[in-house]
Structure 1
């Protein structure tokens, strides 16, 4: 049965892949992104392949923007059945320069060098808001359409950081831990209305945001990229297509009794002790 599916952050690499995969299942897709041109590009690709999609500009941190997007979606595609909260990201102001603190770091005057003590509160707030509030607000707006209907669900995007925090990125790790916790909370809260809530926890995927951190210009791995691959039993980064199978399952009636789970898609990273 065709459903109306909203995806936030869907102008990006990962969620655009999910949007196209869901469209191939016959669903009507609302591609939401802060950048209207990026949203339209994904929607156009779907429509060229015979699917049904619209691109909609929306800021996941502004409720009025989301309400405007909802009105456009309702008028064009109908009421919402499934929400994929894909908007998120990190910020350099919430990132330390080194994985471990050493007392001599306090003497480092290099431009841009940041210890834990130099982390910018506004940068940390931005990261937390984008990932957590940017999940909460769309859920408040779009889940109202799901009340009283059958087969509705919400899919959040958590991260490996939520299980074990990575070095250097405390803001992002904490924000994704909040997303995982919120997923479980929402699953219980909405359970009596039959709205399922689950999350994906991707491992390491090359995206526009992290590509320069994990690979050099020549395509070879950076030191951090090498560490990650060595800690990933399958020995590679994830491809966007690796997220499709779990997404289709959690959004389908085949997962009708599955709620409150956070599924690692990480090539075995979370299972490996490092020894």
Structure 2
């Protein structure tokens, strides 16, 4: 049965792939992104392939913006059945320069160098807001359509960092751990009104956000990239298509008794001790 699905952050690589896959299943897709041109571009690709989609502008940190987006979607399609909270990201001001603190870091005055003690509260606040509030606020707005109806669900995007935090990115790791916890909390909270809530936890996927961190200009892996591949038993980065089957499953009626889980999609990263 065709459903109305809203995906936030769907102008990006990973969520646009999810949007296209869900459209191919016959669902009506609202591609929501802060960048209207990116949302429109993804919607146009879906329509070119015979799907049904609209691009919608929306800021996941502004409730009024989300309410305006919801009104537009409701007028185009009707009440929302499924929400995929895909917006998220990191900020360099919440990232340390080195993985491990060293005594000499206290005297390091290099431009741009950040030890733990130099982390900027604004960068940490930005990261927490984008990932956690950027999940909570869209849920507050769009889940009002779902209460008391059958076949409705919410899918959040967690991360490997929520299981075991990566070095250098404490703000992002903490924010994604909050998303996992919120997923469980919300699943229980909505359990009596027919809304399922689950999450996926992607491992390592090359995106515009992390490409410079994981690969050199010639395409070869950086030291950090080598570390990640070395800790991934399947020996490669994920591709956006690797997310599709799990997203389709959790959004589908075949998962009607599944709520409150966080599914790793990580090539074995979370199972590997390194030895």
- TM class by shorter chain equals over 0.9
Could you say which residue in structure 1 is the equivalent of 2:114?
A: 114
SS at match of 2:192: helix
1:97-112 paired onto structure 2 within 5 Å: 97-112=97-112
1:214-229 equivalence runs, <5 A: 214-229=214-229
Partner of 1:249: helix, strand, or coil? helix
Match of 1:46 in 2: 46
Deviation at 1:176, TM superposition (A): 0.1
Q: Which residue of 1 aligns with 2:24?
A: 24
Deviations 1:196-245 (A, max 9, x none): 00000000000000000000011100000000000000000000000000
Deviation at 1:132, TM superposition (A): 0.1
2:272 corresponds to which residue? 272
Q: Structure 1 residue 109: deviation in Å?
A: 1.1
Mapped to 2, the partners of 1:232 and 1:202 lie a distance apart of 12
Post-superposition shift, 1:194?
Answer: 1.4
Q: Distance in 1 between matches of 2:274 and 2:148?
A: 47
How many corresponding residue pairs?
275
Aligned partners of 1:92, 1:216: CA distance in 2, in Å?
18
Report 1:1-275 matches (<5 A).
Answer: 1-275=1-275
Provide the rounded CA distance (Å) in 1 between the counterparts of 2:181 and 2:231. Answer: 25
Q: How far has the Cα of 1:161 moved from its partner? A: 0.2
For structure 1, list consecutive stretches of 5 or more residues without a partner in the other structure. none
**SS of corresponding position for 1:80:** coil
Offset, 1:107? 1.0
Q: Distance in 1 between matches of 2:30 and 2:55?
A: 6
TM-score of the pair, normalised by structure 1: 1.00
Inter-partner Cα distance in structure 2 for 1:70 and 1:148: 18
Distance 1:146 1:194 in 2: 8
Q: d(CA) in 2 for partners of 1:40 and 1:78? A: 19
CA distance in 1, matches of 2:148, 2:186: 16
Moved over 2 A (4+): none
How far apart are the structure 2 equivalents of 1:126 and 1:91?
7
5+ residue gaps, structure 2, are: none
SS in structure 1 of the partner of residue 260 of structure 2: coil
Q: Root-mean-square deviation (CA), in Å? A: 0.4
Distance in 2, matches of 1:147 and 1:108, equals: 54
For normalisation by structure 2, the TM-score amounts to 1.00
CA distance in 2, matches of 1:107, 1:26: 59
